[in-house]
Structure 1
């Protein structure tokens, strides 16, 4: 399938973390937007397990910014958001990969919160994150929070325009 894109999350040091397949919706020089189909399989290498994801999502991966966005689509609207702090994504062929830096900013039940700070601290030691990388990740989290509050791209309603790509019987 020509428009299938494999998304690979890596652990610092370019070790496999998890991956899943998506459908390409938009590709620019600065980002891609993909559709996560209901029932997709997430292969989680660090947990040695495969999870079935039972939701549709619109997902954003930047080649410039230090975050990703996965927005769950429920009843034709974007509901929960899950944002990773990560090094900018890289696209090679039909694969997009990024180094996940553990810090996450999520919206659940309408409330935004930072999660996995303990995981970030533990992995910084375990994987030897350089001090500059730790500072960068912390600053990028601040920048991401500001983008959400000020409704900057892609939090400006841009992702909503892709909801129509989900089959109408599935929204």
Structure 2
């Protein structure tokens, strides 16, 4: 698998199960890029929605993508601590155009005290029926919710206390 080079600036694209483009993040600077894991950073970037709307992120963020797990994690650096937004979706792929994954609606928001909330179960139920998610995909996603909750409670991977801080320092060097 191809992967982006450290220091390169890439686009991140999320799609829906039906193949339609869902959301595009314009700029993410690659801080670590291997075939198995990508860490990127961005700050106040423009995000394009499939319905034509666009908005700007409010704070610096460190993004963690893995080729083995059905999730990605965005650590948002705010004045009152680090908030995490976990998207449940396919492992990433990368081509010369962008880093890409399929977003499967379910999200977990993690607060600075490491409490969390599962989001968008209603959207998942709706899209599961509309787009006819295979049973296998649904099984993987619910198993991934359990896996993410375990990572959060163990402060593993991107939830490890110094992870976001370490990569944010690297991000500041590449700006």
Q: TM-score, normalised by structure 2?
A: 0.86
CA RMSD of aligned residues (A): 2.0
Whether the 8 Å contact between 1:103 and 1:117 is mirrored in structure 2 is: yes
Structure 2 counterpart of 1:16, from 21, 39, 45: 21
Q: How many residues align?
A: 165
How far 1:120 sits from its partner (Å)? 0.6
Whether the 8 Å contact between 2:24 and 2:48 is mirrored in structure 1 is: yes
Structure 2 counterpart of 1:3, from 8, 14, 20: 8
- Which structure features the higher share of strand residues? 1
Q: Report the 3-state secondary structure (helix = DSSP H, G, I; strand = E; otherwise coil) of the residue aligned with 2:84.
A: strand
Q: Report the 3-state secondary structure (helix = DSSP H, G, I; strand = E; otherwise coil) of the residue aligned with 1:154.
A: helix
Gaps (5+ residues) in structure 1?
none
How far 1:41 sits from its partner (Å)? 0.5
Which residue of structure 1 aligns with residue 89 of structure 2?
Answer: 86
The CA distance in 1 between the partners of 2:84 and 2:157, in whole Å, is 14
Structure 2 counterpart of 1:55, from 59, 65, 69: 59
CA offsets, 1:39-92, max 9 Å, x none?
x100001x32011112110011111111110011124x8511100111111011
How far 1:153 sits from its partner (Å)? 1.5
How far 1:94 sits from its partner (Å)? 5.1
Does the alignment pair 1:149 with 2:162? no
